[in-house]
Structure formats: structure tokens, C-alpha cells
Amino acid sequence: MKILERVRNMFWTAFLQNKMILYMLVVVNIFGTIYGYYWYGWQLKETDFPLVLFVPDSPTASLFFCGVLFLWLMKRQSGTLEALAILSLIKYGIWAVIMNLLVMIVYGNLHWTGYMLMFSHALMAFQAVLYFPFYRIRLWQWGIGALWLLHNDFLDYVFGVMPYYSVVNLYPKEIGYFTFWLSVIVIGICYFGYTQTKLKNLQIWKG
């Protein structure tokens, strides 16, 4: 069984290390980032600086991952950027899926764009988990990523820069409370999973 597991891990890591896969992810994430900032466009226009920097959560998460991918392709790594990317992608990926499910429950239906958002945000979280073995993140870098998430939650639900979405406007306090604990849980699971996994600190580039 251990031999089969090693062979499986070898082929799986080789697939994830493939430059064509990395370039494809760069293109997909750049497109998603641009579309995300476009989606937030009118809210960005209505929000004053510097709060405007913290309005687009998901596109900023995918922008972080673009930075991670670019560094990998240049045979470089930044644990800080990786911590920001993994925590943001997983937290906001899960959050968006749950918010759209809530829309479906509250209103009894969901527009096709809602299904598209659920699918794309689920993939956001999935890609972050896929590359878990290749991250090299120190404790203080996890701290920066955690601070970013919790700081965003504070600004969103205290200063009111959360996404303008129907269910968020209906239940701002309840969703704010849920979002805070989602951040805490994601931070805890990611850090614990990273420290406990046997397959980690692999080199993303070959040679």
C-alpha cells in the first residue's frame, strides 16, 4: 500500500508541477480577478479610499494566487503571499457558495449567475487545497494571513464595506457573525492541516 501511495503521489505532484498546468491556472485566475473587480465596479466607485482597497474580497484572493503562481514559474516562493492566498481562497470560496445557497433557500430560486459564482468559488478553494504540499509558510506568515482575514471581517461588518448582496443586506449581523467564525475555522484547519500533513514543503519547480 505504501508503494502504491508513493507512486500515486509521484504522478500527482508531477501533474501539478507541469508548467502548462501552472500557466493555465495563471490565465484562469487572471480572468477571474478581472471579472471579479468588474463585478465590484459600482461598489468600488461608491467607497472612499482607503476602505475601497478592502471591498473586493474574492478577486483579491485570486490576485494573491496569481502572484504565487508567477513566483513559482520564476522559481521563487513567498510564504507570506502563499498564506494570504490559501486562507483567502478557501475562506471566500466557501463563503460565496454558502451565501448563494442561502439565496436559494430565502428566495426559492437562484439566477444562473449564482450557480456560476458557486462553481467558480468552489474551484477557488479547491485549487488552494490542491497545492497544499508545495507551500512553504512559517508561523509568522500564517499570522499575517490570519490578520488579513480578520481585519477584512472587521471592516466589512463594522465599517459596512461587505459585498452588496441581497441576503447580506437582509441579515447583516447574522452573516457577519457567521463570517467571523468561518475565518477562525479556516485559519485553524489550514494551519493544523499544514503542520500535520506528511506531504509538504515539496518543490514546485523541477530542476
How far is it, in rounded angstroms, from Cα 159 to Cα 38?
22
pLDDT (tens digit per residue) in 67-126: 999 999 999 999 999 999 999 999 999 999 999 999 898 888 888 888 998 999 999 999
End-to-end CA distance of the chain: 29
pLDDT of 206: 61
pTM (2 d.p.): 0.90
Instruction: Single out the residue of 29, 60, 3 nearest to residue 131, CA to CA.
Output: 29
Instruction: Single out the residue of 50, 57, 49 nearest to residue 84, CA to CA.
Output: 57
Residue for grid cell 485559519: 187
CA 78 to each of CA 21, 68, 81, 82, 110: distance values in angstroms, whole numbers, following the listed order: 20, 7, 5, 6, 39
> Which of 47-51, 68-72, 103-107, 192-196 shows the highest mean pLDDT?
68-72
Q: Where are the domains of the chain?
A: 2-196
